[in-house]
Amino acid sequence: MVSSPKQIILVLAFGIIGGVVAGVFITPLLVRTNFLNSAVILSKVLNTQTVTQVQKEVITVPSSDYFSEAIKKIDPSVAVIQSFSGGQLVRSGSGIVLTRDGLIATTNSIVPADADVFQVFNGGQIYRAKVVFRDYAKNIAIISVPATSFQVAVFKSGLPNLGQELLVFSKQVKFSKENPFVEEAIVSRINEGDNAFSISAAYDYQLFGSALLDGEGEVLGIVDFKNQKPSVVFSQSIKGALSAYLAQSQSSQNK
């Protein structure tokens, strides 16, 4: 079928008008809404999915989660120690259970020689205690209470790593109830020659005699403070003091 010149002119006219309308109105609208750019749409979808995936993979585990099992493990092996003189409370701190029959390690400052009554809280029970051994050079005191089923702390052998995060765990008594208290510590110095290390930790009077532990709940030592700076009574010194006391006690029994 052959079109007449008039039909051809009308088709061309409508084509030109349609092109103008599309260029002036429809195309800008589609561009603004990004419907013409399917690559942009696809890119946005893919980018959104990629960001979501990265956020799911990069997860920071809080320290409290890292140490939660360690805290459960050490809790029964940390006792509250109170020292009295003339009926007045003069010292309060923590100690670490060494034996099931009630031997507990702490620092000499928590159980001063001029105190006349020593009291221990552990597992909801209150015990009267006595000091049975002192090593003033290493700042270790061992006290004894009449117990038969204490949970013994696990002491760690060897040194931690430089920069390793540790936990300081202690207890205080409020209204006759044991209340745990924790603080983070960082290994700031290693001295392999002396098999010793230093820590950085915030000063708090509630931390005297507290257990210094790793993420496995094993004890690296007892925390003390000198001029409000933390110092550590190392686990090997504590185990040495226990061995010395047991040998001394055995020798006394044999006489």
Dump pLDDT digits (tens) for 178-223. 999 999 999 999 999 889 999 999 999 999 999 999 999 999 999 9
Q: What is the pLDDT of residue 4?
A: 55
User: Which is nearest to 122 in space by CA: 107, 110, 104?
Assistant: 104
According to the model, what pLDDT value does residue 48 have?
43
Q: Is 237 helix (H, G, I), strand (E, B) or coil?
A: helix
Check residue 171 and give its pLDDT.
94
> Given this model, what pLDDT does residue 49 score?
42
d(C-alpha 242, C-alpha 102), whole Å: 12
- Provide the 8-state DSSP code for 35: S
pLDDT of residue 250: 85
Stretches where the chain sits below pLDDT 70 are: 1-65
The C-alpha angle 158, 159, 163, rounded to 5 degrees, equals: 155
- Give this prediction's pTM: 0.73
- Integer Cα distance of 32 and 93 in angstroms: 70
- For the purposes of burial, counting CB atoms within 10 Å of the CB of 164, is it exposed (0-12), middle (13-18) or buried (19 or more)? middle
pLDDT at 249: 87
- What's the maximum distance between 2 C-alpha atoms anywhere in the chain? 137
Using CA atoms, how far residue 96 sits from 7, 103, 146, in Å, is 105, 9, 15
> What are the b/e assignments for 214-246, b being 16+ CB within 10 Å?
beebbbbbbbbbeeeebbbbbbbbbeebbeebe
**Residue 174 and residue 196 in contact, taking contact as beta carbons nearer than 8 Å:** no
| Model pLDDT, residue 233 | 96
pLDDT at 216: 93
**Cβ atoms of residues 117 and 128 within 8 Å:** yes
**What's the half-sphere exposure (Cβ side, CA atoms, 13 Å) at 62?**
3
With beta carbons less than 8 A apart as the criterion, state whether 112 and 248 touch.
no
d(CA 217, CA 76): 11
**Cα separation of 37 and 30, whole Å?**
9
- Sheet strands side by side (includes 229-234): 196-201, 177-191, 165-174, 210-213, 219-226, 229-234
Please give the Cα distance from 108 to 224 (Å, whole number): 10
